[in-house]
Amino acid sequence: MAKARESSPETPDRDRVGQDIAQELQDLRADVAALVASLQRYGALGAEDLKGRVQDLSDEAMAESLRTVRDLRRQVDALQSQLEGDVRAHPFAWLAGALGIGLMFGLLVSRRH
């Protein structure tokens, strides 16, 4: 003969504890979902902050590059002016130097052939 399931005084307590556990698990899932959402927002804010810092560094590097190019251009202009002044002051010396260099170059090229 099969025994009929007897209800004991512990069964309602056990059901209540099971429901409490189920509710706590549901609350835990909601908390984890909220935490994930917060972490996503935090990551997005961090990415925006990082993007802004990279943009600032890029702008600074570009400005520094432009300053360097400007300085180099001034130096080249100054050297060009100085060279023009030297050539105008000593045209025959520069002409002799240019002829000497041309002669040496011609000799080097003629030896190869």
Spatial contact of 48 and 42, defined as CB atoms under 8 Å apart: no
Q: What is the pLDDT of residues 39-55, one digit of tens each?
A: 888 888 888 888 888 89
Q: How confident is the model at residue 11 (pLDDT cuts 50, 70, 90)?
A: confident
Spatial contact of 86 and 94, defined as CB atoms under 8 Å apart: yes
Q: What is the pTM of this model?
A: 0.47
Q: With left for phi above 0 and alpha for psi between -120 and 50, is residue 7 left, alpha or beta?
A: beta
Q: How confident is the model at residue 8 (pLDDT cuts 50, 70, 90)?
A: low
Q: What is the pLDDT of residues 58-70, one digit of tens each?
A: 999 999 999 999 9
Domain boundaries, the chain: 13-85
pLDDT above 60 (res 6): no
